[in-house]
Structure 1
Amino acid sequence: MPNFSRRSTEADRLRPAVFTRLLPLLRQLPEPPLPLHIGDTYLSPPEAARLTSVCTAEDPSWYRYSSPAGELPLREAFCERWSALGRRGLSVDHVHVTLGATGAVQAAMRVFCSPGDDVLILAPFWPLVRGIALSCGANPVEVSFYDQIRQGVSATQLLESAKTDKTTTVYMCSPNNPDGTVLSADQLNEVAQFCIKHDLWLISDEAYCDHVFAPAKRQFIANLPGMAERVASTYTASKSYALAGLRLGFLVGAPQWLEYSRRVSTHQVYNVPMATQQAVQGAIEHGHDWLQQSRDKYAQAAKLVHDNLNASFHHAQGAGYVFCDLREDLGDKSTLQWIAELLHEGVSIAPGAAFGSAYEKWVRVCYMSLPPDQLMIAIDRLNQSLHRIRKGEPFDGPRIELQLSLGGQS
């Protein structure tokens, strides 16, 4: 047996999945809790994107390699739709099809970062980006950002205070996962000017660009002067079209550097399956009405949470979540211990520490994952549990023993 203690430093620094510590407990429950912890939707995808629509007749191309860059008709459909949304200067040479937005962020970061480089990660953040930076040998520098700008701190001040001599890249997500913030035009301009001033790359995670709620507006930072060449924008069919299981995303940027990301992606996954690409092409070309309907439903779900959840959180401007600040509610109680108790009370939510080390006493609640009637039941259960904690009442359930750390060495 090889000496497993010789595993790589990068692998050893990666944290386990958010719910890994709770899986044994989940398996013991008499019935599954209402799932507010995972960023998926209860909606079925557009009819034109379903495999039952795509795979109506045998197609030999499904079983063959496809283009590592992505099939041309899919990239053309992407350019046509995103150009219509206002993204400027797109051609098929600016678009690479990836294995989800996860693959897009990975392919960009491997080009922008060398081992030892610092990546400014605007927090709270999508949990996987920290591990992606570590797997590239880079150092993730967490920058408390979205909650700070809502308190009036300027984006420039936050970024300048975090920059180091080793900083090469900034990662941002707007609309933001986990707190639903949509950056304003002025805030985007501050981020852009900071990147230009210090000659930095920017990874702009726009996974939720199709879920912006009025009066907030969808805007593309790549359209700002001096940014088109230094921005890697990432998109995903998982969020836009409820196709998380098909694993298809897009990496968009200047051909000069995108060619190197193509090389990275080719050596990791080679190509995205043809049937998946055809399904997403169908969604882009025929899913316009479905997109509007889904956006309306998510906006209504967000309002349902805003009006009924008895917790402290910023009202979501987009995406599919609220991020609740429970520092006063939980006090000395472990967040993960409460989440474990909450599983017995019939609801699952995500621990805030997964979204940044400064958010140990926060939790993320996904409102896309349940239809309105079930979402309301879940909110009632959350409110009852929070009321119990605030009153100092003990948990009326089985004794829970679990490892409370989220893991990871750094």
Structure 2
Amino acid sequence: MSINHQSIINNEKNDLQLNQSRVPDLPARLGKVGRSVYSQLLHRLANYNGEIYPLHVGDTYLPPAVSMSMIDQVENTAWRAHRYTQVRGHQALTQRVVEWLSERQGMPVQEDEVLITGGGTAGLSALVGALLMPDDELLLLAPYWPLMAGATRLHGAKPVAVPFFQESLTIAQGIERLNQALSPKTKALYINTPNNPTGEVLDKKWLSALVDWASEKGLWVISDEVYDLFCYEGEHQYTRPLDPKRVISAFSMSKAFGMAGYRCAILQGPPEVLSATEKVLTNALYSAATPGQLAAHLALSEQGLNWAKDASVAYQKVGREAAKRLGVPEPQGSTFLFIDVSKEVAKGSTFESEQGGVDRLLEACVDRGLLLAPGSAFGPYPQHLRLCFTAAEPEVVLRGVDILVELLGR
């Protein structure tokens, strides 16, 4: 039997051309990471002409503590705001942060315990990259800030939700839940107080118990404290003084001083952890934007603290009124309400959903110009909604709240 060599050559050429036309697959882990947890329904606004109530994203209606005009006035050759700073942050800002945190936490803070990052999201993502290996697990007290779970998946690790807030747990019950979620792969515990999305605040007794448990289990503690200046009942309890060798804390200029667009935040932790995090940042973001660092330097002052105090009073007032109208507990801190709508989306209800979630209710809200975040973004909460009561002027927020009250029949 003769061999058709030309046919073999042609087949090989076709295979080569086919391979040359293909591109590699994207990493599978990216399929677990969403681009945005809020925007699935925004297309429904295309034909809407009424007032918009953008209560789905955590932001502020207030002018920032430091304006761009103030930055322009202060910027000088010493700062050179058009140039890079050290990855660790501008020296003047680092020194200001050390003074600020030392005073607020009642303990000495060293410069090598501070790292300036291009926003809290970038900083916490880099921290996860420094602490966790692929397949490691991070316990998140839930409901939690959504991008923390996303950052964990981005680095190939696994976020593990531990239902905690709005559960009226005793300390013993909370610790038992952590024990049930613990595995040999667990490397860290994530705590967020004041909490996004529930508005709950953990006191010293709770935080001490959580940090002690993490110490007993040999875990890192990531303490997200970006709403530290917005506690409406009592004082914020800083976590790092409870165990400085184990706790890494995050603070944000976005939340504290209404400067989300300037992208500047602070990580405070053990020097060896921050050195590792700096390596991640160097190869991902490099230094935080210098104008944002200059704004932070100006805000970490009596001027910025007064802004935050005034903002806290205004935030608390509208938060209380929104909670009253919705019939939910008042927020203890942060800028959010986390609303259980399980009755309104239950089987046989107006907004019953085939998936058992809030999709039909969210569609009805969007059709009235009201934007809210689905509870599923914050953990295993498919029948909850998150509302930010500072994302628009108070009168706009309350008009949006009234629409939700009407839809829910409350």
Partner AA of 2:68 in structure 1: L
Listed as ranges, the gaps of 5+ residues in structure 1 are: 391-410
Moved more, 376-385 or 129-138: 376-385
1:140 alignment partner, SS class = strand
Deviation at 1:88, TM superposition (A): 2.2
The offset of 1:164, in angstroms, is 0.6
What count of residue pairs does the alignment treat as equivalent? Answer: 380
Amino acid at match of 2:393: P
TM, length-normalised to structure 2 = 0.88
Does the C-alpha gap of structure 1 residues 353 and 103 become closer, same or farther in structure 2, counting only changes over 3 Å? same
Residue 232 of structure 1 contacts residue 251 of structure 1 at CA under 8 Å; is this kept in 2?
Answer: yes
Name the SS of the counterpart of 1:289 in structure 2: helix
User: Could you tell me the TM-score, scaled by structure 1's length?
Assistant: 0.88
Matches within 5 A, 1:328-407: 328-332=343-347, 333-334=352-353, 335-356=358-379, 358-387=380-409
Give me the CA root mean square deviation. Answer: 1.8
Query: What displacement does 1:26 show?
Result: 2.4
- Per mean C-alpha deviation after superposition, the further-off stretch among 118-127 and 88-97 is 88-97
- In 1, Cα distance between equivalents of 2:22 and 2:375: 35
Q: Following superposition of structure 1 onto structure 2, how do residues 231-380 of structure 1 map, counting pairs within 5 Å?
A: 231-285=247-301, 286-310=303-327, 313-332=328-347, 333-334=352-353, 335-356=358-379, 358-380=380-402
Task: Give the superposition deviation at 1:3.
Answer: 4.3
Task: Output the CA distance in 2 between the equivalents of 1:35 and 1:163.
Answer: 38
Q: Match of 1:217?
A: 235
Query: 162, 172, 175: which one pairs with 1:143?
Result: 162
Deviation at 1:207, TM superposition (A): 0.8
Q: What displacement does 1:4 show?
A: 5.9
Give the alignment of 1:175-190 within 5 angstroms. Answer: 175-190=194-209
Whether the 8 Å contact between 2:199 and 2:335 is mirrored in structure 1 is yes
- Deviations, residues 342-377 of structure 1 (Å, cap 9, x unaligned): 111231111100001x20000001111122222221
Distance 1:327 1:98 in 2: 39
Contact 2:264 2:289 in 1 (8 A): no
Deviations 1:193-251, CA, capped at 9 Å, x for gaps: 1111111011100010110012x331112111xx2111110110000000001111111
1:28 to 39, 43, 47: 47
What are the superposed Cα offsets for residues 68-98 of structure 1, whole Å, 9 maximum, x if unpaired? 1000111111121222212523122111010
- 5+ unaligned residues in a row in structure 2: which ranges? 1-19
Post-superposition shift, 1:275? 1.1
Q: Aligned in 2, Cα 1:7/1:73: closer, same or farther, shift over 3 Å?
A: same
Greater gyration radius: 2
* 1:15 CA displacement: 2.1
Query: Paired residue for 1:45, among 46, 53, 64?
Result: 64
**Separation in 1 of the partners of 2:162 and 2:373?**
20
Aligned sequence identity (%) = 28
Q: Is the 8 A contact 1:314 1:323 kept in 2?
A: no
| SS state at 1:233 partner | strand
- In 2 relative to 1, CA 135–56 (structure 1 residues): closer, same or farther, beyond 3 Å? same
- The 2-side partners of 1:292 and 1:271 are apart by 30
Task: Detail structure 1 runs of 4+ shifted over 6 Å in the superposition.
Answer: none
> Whole-Å Cα distance in 2 between the matches of residues 154 and 88 of structure 1?
31
**Alignment-mate amino acid for residue 241 of structure 2:** N
SS at 2:196's partner residue?
coil
Whole-angstrom distance in 2 between the partners of 1:157 and 1:323? 24
